[in-house]
Structure 1
Amino acid sequence: MNFLTNPLLAATAITDGWSKQQNGHSTLPGSAALASLFDPFGFGRAAFDYWRDSAERSILYLDVMRERGNQYLEHMEQTKPNVLGFDTEVLVDGRTLPRPTNYELLRVLPHEGTEIDQQKRPFVVVDPRAGHGPGIGGFKPDSELGVALKAGHPCYFIGFLPFPEPGQTVEDVVESEVAFLRHVIELHPETSEKPMVVGNCQAGWQLMMAAALEPDVFGPILIAGAPLSYWAGEHGKAPMRYTGGMAGGSWITALTSDIGNGQFDGAWLVQNFERLNPANTHWKKQYHLYDNIDTEAGRYLEFERWWGGHVVLGGEEIQYIVDNLFIGNRLSTAQLVTHDGRRIDLRNVRSPVVVFCSRGDDITPPPQALGWVRDLYEDVDDIVANEQTIVYCMHDTTGHLGIFVSGSVSRKEHTEFTANMDYIDVLPPGLYETSVTKAGTGEDAELYERDYLLEFTPRNFEELDQEVKHKPEDDRRFATVARISEINLGMYRLFLQPWLKATMTPEAARWIRRMHPIRLGYKLLSDRNPLSVPLPVMADAVRKNRHPVSQDNVFKTFESMGSDQLVASLNAMRDLRDANTEKMFMDIYGQPLLQAAVGLHGDAHVHRRRPGAEPERRRFVEQRQEELRAKIASGGAHEAVMRSLIYVLGGAPATDERNFKRLRASRAELEPGIQLSEFKRLVREQFFILKLDREKALNSLPTLLAGHTNDDIDGYLSHLEHVFAASGELSEHTAERFEQIKALFDKARPSKPATSQPVTEEASAEPTAAKPAATRPAETAAKPDAAKTTSKTPTDTEQKGEKTSATNEPASEESAKPGSDTGRRKAPRKR
Structure 2
Amino acid sequence: MSLDSPQLPGGLMSGVVAKAVEYMVDAGQRSVLLLDIFRQRGDQYREHVAQTAPHVLSYAAELILDGRTLEQPVNYALVRIIPPKDVEIDLKRRPFVVVDPRAGHGPGIGGFKADSEIGVAMKAGHPCYFIGFLPEPMPGQTIERIARAEAIFIEKVIERHPKADGKPCVIGNCQAGWAIMILASLRPELFGPVIVAGAPLAYWAGVHGKYPMRYSGGLLGGSWLTALSSDLGAGKFDGAWLVQNFENQNPSNTLWTKQYNVYSKVDTEADRYLEFERWWGGHVNLNAEEIQFIVDELFIGNNLAAGRVKLSDGTAVDLRNIRSPIVVFCSKGDNITPPQQALHWILDLYADVDEIRAHGQTIVYTVHETVGHLGIFVSGGVAKKEHAEFSSNIDLIDVLPPGLYEATFEARGSDTFNDELAVGQWVMRCEARTLDDIRAMGGNSAEDERRFETAKRVSEINLAAYQKYLQPWVKSMVTPQMAEMMRNWHPLRLQYEAFSSGNPWMKMVETAAEKARDERKPAAKDNPFLAFQEQVSKQIVSSLDRWRDSQEALSEAMFLAIYGSPALQAAVGVDPEAAPSQRRDMDPKHREFLQARIAELTSRIGSGGMREAGIRALLYVGSARGMVDERSLEALRRLRQADEAARVTLAEFKMLVREQFFMLLLDREGALAAIPKLLPDNMDERRRAFTAIQDVLSASAEISGEVARRLKQVAGLFGLEAHNNTVPFDPKARAS
TM-score by length of 1: 0.85
Letter paired with 1:409: V
Give distance in 2, aligned partners of 1:361 and 1:243: 17
Do the aligned partners of residues 422 and 125 (structure 1) sit closer, same or farther apart at CA in structure 2, a change above 3 Å counting?
Answer: same
Per mean C-alpha deviation after superposition, the further-off stretch among 714-723 and 523-532 is 714-723
Q: Identify the match of residue 445 of structure 2 among 460, 471, 474.
A: 471
Which whole-Å CA distance do the structure 2 matches of 1:139 and 1:818 have between them? 52
Q: CA deviation at 1:173?
A: 0.8
The counterpart of 2:125, out of the listed 148, 152, 174, is 152
Q: Considering only aligned residues, what root-mean-square deviation do their CA atoms show, in Å?
A: 1.7
Per the alignment, residue 672 of structure 2 pairs with 698
User: What are the ranges of 5 or more consecutive residues in structure 1 without an aligned counterpart?
Assistant: 1-29, 750-815, 820-831
Contact 1:403 1:409 (8 Å CA) reproduced: yes
In structure 1, how many angstroms separate the alpha carbons of the residues matched to 2:191 and 2:431? 24
Separation (CA, whole Å) in 2 of partners of 1:387 and 1:263: 41
| Matched-pair contact (CA < 8 Å) for 2:614–2:693 | yes
Match of 2:58, SS? coil
Q: Secondary structure in 2 aligned to 1:40? A: helix
Q: Distance in 2 between matches of 1:426 and 1:468?
A: 30
Deviation (angstroms), 1:448: 2.4
Match of 2:574 among 600, 613, 620: 600
Partner of 2:51: 78
What letter corresponds to residue 307 of structure 2 in structure 1? Answer: A
For 1:67 and 1:461, how far apart are their aligned partners in 2?
50
* 1:392-430 deviation line (CA, Å, top 9, x unaligned): 011111100111100011111111000000110000000
Instruction: Kindly indicate whether the alpha-carbon contact (under 8 Å) linking 1:127 and 1:137 is maintained by their aligned counterparts in 2.
Output: yes
Distance 2:513 2:564 in 1: 57
1:406 corresponding residue in structure 2: 379
2:74 aligned partner: 101
Which runs of structure 2 are paired with 1:181-580 in the superposition (5 Å)? 181-441=154-414, 444-580=418-554
* 1:159 counterpart SS class: strand
Shift of 1:247: 0.4
TM-aligned CA distance change 1:440 to 1:38, over 3 Å: closer
The residue that corresponds to 1:689 in the other structure is 663
Instruction: Give the Cα separation in 2 of the matches to 1:501 and 1:741.
Output: 74
1:582 aligns to 2:572 (yes or no): no
Contact 1:371 1:468 (C-alpha < 8 Å) held by counterparts: no
Aligned twin of 2:722: 817
Q: Displacement, 1:316?
A: 0.3
Alignment of 1:622-771 (within 5 A): 622-668=595-641, 669=643, 671-705=645-679, 707-746=680-719
2:531 alignment partner AA: T
How far apart are residue 593 of structure 1 and its match? 0.4
CA distance in 2, matches of 1:347, 1:253: 30
User: Structure 1 CA distance, aligned partners of 2:237 and 2:444?
Assistant: 33
- CA drift of 1:473 comes to 2.0
Contact 2:450 2:576 in 1 (8 A): no
CA–CA separation in structure 2 for the residues paired with 1:434 and 1:468: 20
Contact 1:440 1:448 in 2 (8 A): no
In the TM superposition, what is the alpha-carbon distance from 1:192 to its structure 2 partner?
Answer: 4.4
> Rg larger in 1 or in 2?
1
- What residue is the counterpart of 1:790 in the other structure? none
Higher RCO (CA-CA < 8 Å; seq separation 6+)? 2
C-alpha displacement of 1:152: 1.9
CA distance in 1, matches of 2:591, 2:390: 34
Q: Distance in 2 between matches of 1:396 and 1:178?
A: 34
Match of 1:126 in 2: 99
Output the CA distance in 1 between the equivalents of 2:289 and 2:478. Answer: 17
- CA distance 1:596–1:670, shift in 2 (3 Å): farther
Deviations 1:670-717 (A, max 9, x none): 843411100000000101111111111111111111x42222222222
Deviation at 1:34, TM superposition (A): 12
Contact 1:743 1:818 in 2 (8 A): no
Amino acid of the structure 2 residue aligned with 1:492: Y
Asked if the contact 1:124/1:196 (under 8 Å) is kept, the reply is yes
What SS does structure 2 have at the residue aligned with 1:356? strand
For residues 586-645 of structure 1, the C-alpha deviation after alignment (integer angstroms, 9 at most, x for no partner) is 111111000000111245352x42122222111101111111011100001110110011
> Contact conserved, 1:228 with 1:370, CA < 8 A, in 2?
yes
Deviates more, 1:368-377 or 1:735-744: 735-744
Residues 446, 579 of structure 2: 8 Å contact kept? no
Q: Tell me the number of residue pairs that the alignment of Structure 1 and Structure 2 aligns.
A: 721
Question: Which deviations, in whole Å up to 9, do the C-alpha atoms of 1:471-528 show, x marking residues without a partner?
Answer: 2221111000110000000000011101001110000000000010111011000111
* 1:235 Cα offset (Å): 1.0
SS at match of 2:624: coil
Whole-Å Cα distance in 2 between the matches of residues 516 and 250 of structure 1?
A: 20
* Equivalent-residue separation in structure 1 for 2:111 and 2:373 (angstroms): 16
Whole-Å Cα distance in 1 between the matches of residues 68 and 469 of structure 2? 35
Distance 1:670 1:197 in 2: 31
Alpha-carbon separation, structure 2, partners of 1:671 and 1:700: 23
State the partner residue of 2:112: 139
TM-aligned CA deviation for residue 720 of structure 1: 1.1
Q: Letter of the 2:539 partner, please give it.
A: Q
| 3-state SS of paired residue (2:646) | coil
* Inter-partner Cα distance in structure 2 for 1:394 and 1:615: 34
SS of 1:651's partner is: helix
Q: Which residue of 1 aligns with 2:732?
A: none
How far apart, CA to CA, are the structure 2 residues paired with 1:716 and 1:194? 29
Aligned to 1:111: 84
Q: C-alpha deviations, 1:213-265, integer Å up to 9, x for none? A: 00001001110100000011011111110000000100010000000000000
Q: 1:34 to 1:818 in 2, by over 3 A?
A: closer
What amino acid maps onto 2:225 in structure 1? I
What whole-Å deviation, never above 9, does each CA across 1:423-454 have from its counterpart, x for those lacking one?
A: 10000000000111111435623212321100
Q: 1:324 is matched by which residue type in structure 2?
A: E
SS in structure 2 opposite 1:110?
Answer: coil
Distance of aligned partners of 1:341 and 1:192 in 2 relative to their CA distance in 1, 3 Å threshold = farther
Aligned residue number for residue 590 of structure 2: 617
Contact 2:3 2:11 survives alignment (8 Å): no
Checking the alignment, whether the CA contact within 8 Å between 1:366 and 1:468 is kept in structure 2 is no
Q: In structure 2, the residue corresponding to 1:727 is in which secondary structure?
A: coil
Alignment partners' CA distance in 1, 2:305 and 2:442: 14
Distance, in Å, in 1 between the alignment partners of 2:614 and 2:666 is 18
If the length of structure 2 is used for normalisation, what is the TM-score?
A: 0.96
The amino acid of 1:623's aligned partner reads A
Contact 2:5 2:12 in 1 (8 A): no
Q: 1-side partners of 2:576 and 2:34: how far apart?
A: 59
Secondary structure of the residue aligned to 1:467 is coil
Q: Distance in 1 between matches of 2:131 and 2:582?
A: 34
SS of the aligned residue for 2:63 comes to strand
1:12-56 CA-to-partner distances (Å, cap 9, x unmatched) read xxxxxxxxxxxxxxxxxx997899885434111111111111100
Equivalent residue for 1:55, pick from 7, 28, 38: 28
Report the counterpart of residue 822 of structure 1 in structure 2.
none
> Does the 8 A contact of 1:368 with 1:468 survive in 2?
no
The 2-side partners of 1:640 and 1:686 are apart by 9
> 1:448, 1:105 → 2: CA distance?
33
| Number of the residue aligned with 1:791 | none
SS in 1 for 2:544: helix
Q: Match of 1:436, SS?
A: strand
